[in-house]
Structure 1
């Protein structure tokens, strides 16, 4: 049927408004710091055909709910819950990601309620049981160590909460009050969103609204085909990157490989994961091959927006179900990092799904002569736990971002978070609730990869403990770095040091469950910087001077990374132009003739038998 374009705009804006209203309601009524303060959650709206309609952020899938609870059996006021990784059709990555789903109802011609859409909330919660606080044991060898697994269940039945199920879940959590409050907030917000969507159908009629849904998705398909896929020349492009450790075995290269095939008949991208490494013993596996990889398609597609004509246009491109017909995923047989076999552990699956974003970016960069951003690593979990000043147990967990990669037109962004609207915990809140003082929260100087366009900087955060406790970390990129491209250099890796400069100074592994920290000691956390884009010796001297003033680059970094000889103070730097020109000439002359297109940083050689680059790193 023909669709009124004005109505399509109204419906699209309405959907975005409802999604934002649901997320706002959760943020205002949840209790845990991870949800309320760090905002590590998102909402999604799906139609009756289970297609995601909104493009503000990714979300889980409705498929497992409908698989176990047919649409015909649903009733108004029902809310469904699940977090089982292996029964989520690829929509749940690890057990702390809890998902609630509320169907949207209108009356059919006979006056009976009928499902027309779904509202979903999906977020990372503080604790769902398992062997360590936070439910992310870094040395797990089985999913049974990671917490309580709940397949899709009816958590609310026609508006009545299932108290037995809630009791079981909260009993298995170290933070039962926070968990109960978060679930209550999410269920109530989704039911509110369902009422809002029902009003949309009542106002404009089911046929017209569903026709608008089709038009919205078709528009995304055509826009990506015209403005994004058209920028990738037909051909085959292969690249790979690696996770560096799995928490169980010694550090090594855990390969994630993509062969990107740009087809024109039909007009689509084929992403083949053949060559991805075997399933790890530790918890870095990700179940990506369920439901034809629908979740993974929507997870990877935002990378393609970097091919848009401008940053402004890139921000306008929604990633909803409309991208799915343009992408075909081909998975290796069971038993790989992307096709793990139950009960393989998965709690650190970010090491794989975040890396895949970079692997796809690298493959596309080879196709478009490097006109893609350099690499970034924007999720790692850190935290402390123990007994608070009041003698009660506490758990502080935080998702700290990192720098994004330099781009062909601009430096990378500092301290970004891949989850929309997520952030570090406010210092005032943290100090009021937990037994430590935040002595520093700022940018990690020199962490951004050198380049004509510098990589964004990571965080540097110092926590001084007021009571004995334990530090935890689930992080990658502590050996390997975020890669640079087209002459850009890799950024600095992640690191944690306890008691820096003190008598008990010690490095902490990036995968740590319970590192003891004594009262008075400082925990120094430095997160990753993004990779650089382009030759750092081509960076204008005045931009390096600006970075000195902004304390983003040190005087030593200006010399060794950019060939800029500067003296004075950051407030008043002075450049020796003659010495700078001579140093840059010397640095250029000392380079080898055939440098790889990608720079992985010095950590790669440690895990690759001394090799400085992989075979796929040249064009």
Structure 2
């Protein structure tokens, strides 16, 4: 069994006036915001500059999360173990110095979710003193492997998923190790894009380094170290105060996956501990639907933040009350070299499971189930005009569950995404060589209740050249999102491939499925679960739903007893 706790902070005891401390702490977030903006403006691939599939963060000298920037929560939450993996490997005097940048992408060794999510880590020095670390983690579109884009639910081990970068020093004292970049480019199906995204990550961290060092020069190193330690301690105080205000007790939930596997969790809340127990779940799978312990810890962190206050600080101190219990070598704590390329579907399923356990006890804070699939859609092939090889990634929007007081939100990303966006149709068409024939709310039935679950989407990609492919691994393709208090379950996630000949095929998961000019990929994402008895939904509201196309007249008659517009 693995128990995962957050360590205690260290604190420099230098006296600093509270106004200066507040200014320095506000600057920490400004630094990570600048890192985020730099990455967004300089990246080469649309998964980074449009979707914002990356995260940045700042750490104290011991590798504890001090300030998290915008980005995907799952990325930011995993970066602390990444920094600590560098400190563990490069622990001798002189191993780490000014101008060094480290690179890692092996999920089981700390800081990484799957191998496409490359982590860059930079130590920050004020003179000869190490004052902290900066990290950047972003999804690179291709790092080799057996499958285009490195993604496949069918992968059997890490070796099939791409090039491994085992916590290496890619830049030393400001000098790039060109051999490493050459190896990366030689293994990538899109070498120029990979090279560009690497240098974007470097630029992001160097921007943060300049600001971090300037902060130490302006206020003095002791003051900065004191302010960072105080910031972490403040995060802990806020978290423990919020924990005391939660309902205490034991909260259980189970869920059945599309392939019939039962998952379970028990959450125990006391004055001092927020314990997430995932023991008893299936062992590591033979496919890529596994995730590492670090990824599972992020689920506990995210649900803790969701119920304790999303606007609170998010640093190492914030997560100190969390205790995670997981069986070793399980699908929630896979060991090297287990395949994890579609880890995101397992983590979002796990996150939804924790949500389900707590939602009945916290109806004012948590909704019914949402579409709970990243719905990562990987497409590639030659650009129809230039012939350049492309590989693009787009997670999909979906419906959120209804709340006790209102309908669910339409077409929003999952709770795992954070500050991410869909690729605009104009970018998909101009840059990625596709045509977007349709983007609308889905008309599928599901999610009815006193309050209705948010609507998923229907998105149609038209392929414009021969020799394309698609890879997907959606979950919630058989069992829709759960309702609450009598609300109906939501609909399901899937794709349909419509060939130019008119032939149709439906898929939940596929790997490099061939596509040619004229084929259309129809993406359909799920509605969220409903809340409350559908019979209690006001007739005028049902009529408005029919008018807006949220529900068909026949479905409204079946579920709500609709007999036409009461006006």
Same fold (TM over 0.5): yes
SS of the equivalent of 1:322 reads coil
Tell me how large the CA RMSD over aligned residues is: 2.3
- The Cα of 1:270 is off from its aligned counterpart by 1.5
What's the CA shift for 1:493?
Answer: 0.8
Give the Å deviation of 1:176: 0.5
The correspondence for 1:554, drawn from 552, 555, 566, is 552
- After TM superposition, the structure 1 = structure 2 runs for residues 313-324 of structure 1, keeping only pairs within 5 Å, are 314-324=309-319
Q: Which residue of 1 aligns with 2:36?
A: 23
User: For 1:232, what is the secondary structure of its paired residue?
Assistant: coil
Distance in 1 between the 2:500 and 2:487 partners? Answer: 32
Match of 2:302 in 1: 302
Deviation at 1:298, TM superposition (A): 4.3
Aligned residue number for residue 60 of structure 2: 47
Q: Which of 494, 504, 519 is 2:517 aligned to?
A: 519
Structure 1 residue 195 corresponds to structure 2 residue 200: no
SS across alignment from 1:359: helix
Asked if 1:263 corresponds to 2:270, the answer is yes
Secondary structure at 2:202 match in 1? helix
**Secondary structure of residue in 1 paired with 2:318:** helix
Residues 342-491 of structure 1 correspond to what in structure 2 (within 5 A)? 342-368=336-362, 372-376=366-370, 377-389=372-384, 390-417=386-413, 418-446=416-444, 449-468=447-466, 469-491=468-490
Q: Mapping of 1:150-169 within 5 angstroms?
A: 150-169=165-184
- Name structure 1 gaps, 5 residues minimum: 108-112, 245-250, 309-313, 567-573, 577-619
1:565–1:278 distance in 2 versus 1, CA, 3 Å: farther
Q: 2:271 matched to 1:273? A: no
Contact 1:80 1:154 in 2 (8 A): yes
**Cα contact 1:564–1:575 (8 A) shared by 2:** no
Give the superposition deviation at 1:447: 6.1
Q: Distance in 1 between matches of 2:66 and 2:545?
A: 42
Q: What's 1:284 paired with? A: 289
Residues 1:94 and 2:114 aligned together = yes
2:491 maps to what in 1? 492
* TM-score after normalising by structure 1: 0.82
Shift of 1:371: 5.5
- The answer to whether residue 91 in structure 2 is matched with residue 70 in structure 1 is yes
Relative contact order: is structure 1 or structure 2 higher (C-alpha 8 Å, sep ≥ 6)? 2
Count of aligned pairs between the two proteins: 540
Shift of 1:25: 0.7
Cα separation, 2, equivalents of 1:405 and 1:103: 42
Alignment partner, residue 341 of structure 1: 335
Q: TM-score, normalised by structure 2?
A: 0.89
Listed one character per residue, the Cα deviations across residues 131-173 of structure 1 (whole Å, up to 9, x for unaligned) are: 1111012211111111111111111111111100011111111
Q: SS where residue 238 of structure 1 aligns?
A: strand
Equivalent residue number for residue 207 of structure 1: 222
**Cα deviations across residues 59-84 of structure 1 (Å, max 9, x unaligned)?**
12311111112384222111110001
- Residues 369, 400 of structure 1: CA spacing in aligned structure 2 closer, same or farther, 3 A cutoff? closer
- For 1:297 and 1:396, how far apart are their aligned partners in 2? 28
Question: What corresponds to 2:255 in structure 1?
Answer: 241
Unaligned runs of 5+ in 2: 1-12
Q: Does the C-alpha gap of structure 1 residues 76 and 520 become closer, same or farther in structure 2, counting only changes over 3 Å?
A: same
Contact 2:299 2:350 in 1 (8 A): no
**Distance in 1 between residues matched to 2:541 and 2:18, nearest whole Å:** 46
Counterpart of 2:566? Answer: 575
Indicate conservation of the 8 Å contact 1:71/1:115, yes or no: no
Mark the CA change 1:229 to 1:512 in structure 2 (over 3 Å): closer, same or farther: farther
Residues 140 and 194, structure 2, Cα contact 8 Å, conserved in 1? yes
What residue number does 1:589 align with?
Answer: none
Contact 2:363 2:404 in 1 (8 A): no
The residue that corresponds to 2:103 in the other structure is: 81
Q: Distance in 2 between matches of 1:473 and 1:538?
A: 38
